Amino acid sequence: MRYAIFGDIHGNTDALQVVLADMKEQQIDKKVCLGDVVGYGAEPVRCLEMVMELGCDVIAGNHDWAAIERISIDFFNAYAKAAAVWTREQLTPEHKEWLGNLPLTLTYEHFAIAHGTFHQPEAFNYIQTVFDAQLSFEALTALGRRLGFLGHSHVPVGFFDSDPITYTLDPEIPVDVNQTIIINAGSVGQPRDENNKTSYAVYDSEQQTCWIRRLDYDIDAAAAKIREAGLPEILAARLYHGK
């Protein structure tokens, strides 16, 4: 099976269109979305409808739940908070119902997915330390899987459960079936690794390899839409810098 694993679209239609076009060239068998379809960007409704039309599996991200007021935005920074409030006003009751029905995790034959971490996925925390990574390795193993995919941080990286825990930023990540591995697919709509190219992952279960795909998209168009919507300028500016 050849999987496309993508997430953190954040209302960026211009980036999503490029990713979906690339998926067609990658001979993908199954598409899986890691959440945060909305938030930050200027086209949450269009992105939602594009993902809904795919009919693919989708899990909830923190911005998805913020848009339906399932989680508090008190801990969001001022820019994220402004975008969340604005996004709420754009969504129809049908869109909110769809977001409200999204699960937090899903488990497949070859891997499992969550938005932020596998331990306490409802908290939408980040893997920022070795301790965080170890907790998620243990939770992933409890699900009966040795491979997991995450989003949330917007930084593509692979973590390996070794002694000590190691990581890689290489775009090609070998998958050892005898080792527990967690891979962050990066962000479609708002990369934060100082690379402004859109990011998603392709995993081939037969070749046991994951590739992080980085693609150019029309940042000028995405940024212009953010400005036209009256959203904070920083949300447009950061797209150019990838952070």
pLDDT in tens, 163-179: 899 999 999 999 998 99
pLDDT tens column, 65-75? 999 999 999 99
pLDDT in the model for residue 185: 98
Q: How many domains does the chain have?
A: 1
Closest listed residue to residue 124, CA positions, set 113, 116, 112, 135: 116
pLDDT in the model for residue 129: 85
How many Cβ atoms are within 10 Å of 165's Cβ, its own excluded?
18
pLDDT in the model for residue 177: 87
Q: Which two tokens stand for residue 148?
A: 């997991």
159 neighbors 167 (Cβ within 8 angstroms):
yes
Measured distance CA(121)–CA(231) in Å, rounded: 29
Residue with tokens 């060239």: 25
106 neighbors 72 (Cβ within 8 angstroms):
no
pLDDT in the model for residue 128: 83
Element (H, E) at 227: helix 219-228
pLDDT in the model for residue 168: 94
pLDDT in the model for residue 159: 95
What is the share, in percent, of the chain residues with pLDDT greater than 70? 100
CATH number for the domain including 138?
Answer: 3.60.21.10
Beta-ladder partners of 172: 211
pLDDT in the model for residue 166: 92
Q: Which two tokens stand for residue 182?
A: 């967690």
- Residue-range definition of the domain harbouring residue 176: 2-241
Positions of the chain with pLDDT lower than 70, given as ranges: none
How many Cβ atoms are within 10 Å of 73's Cβ, its own excluded?
19
pLDDT in the model for residue 130: 84
Q: Which long-range contacts (CB under 8 A, 24 or more apart) does 216-223 make?
A: 216/18, 217/14, 217/15, 217/17, 217/18, 218/14, 219/14, 221/14, 222/12, 222/13, 222/14, 222/15, 222/41, 222/42, 222/189
pLDDT tens column, 94-135? 999 999 999 999 999 999 999 999 999 999 999 988 889 999
pLDDT in the model for residue 63: 98
pTM: 0.96
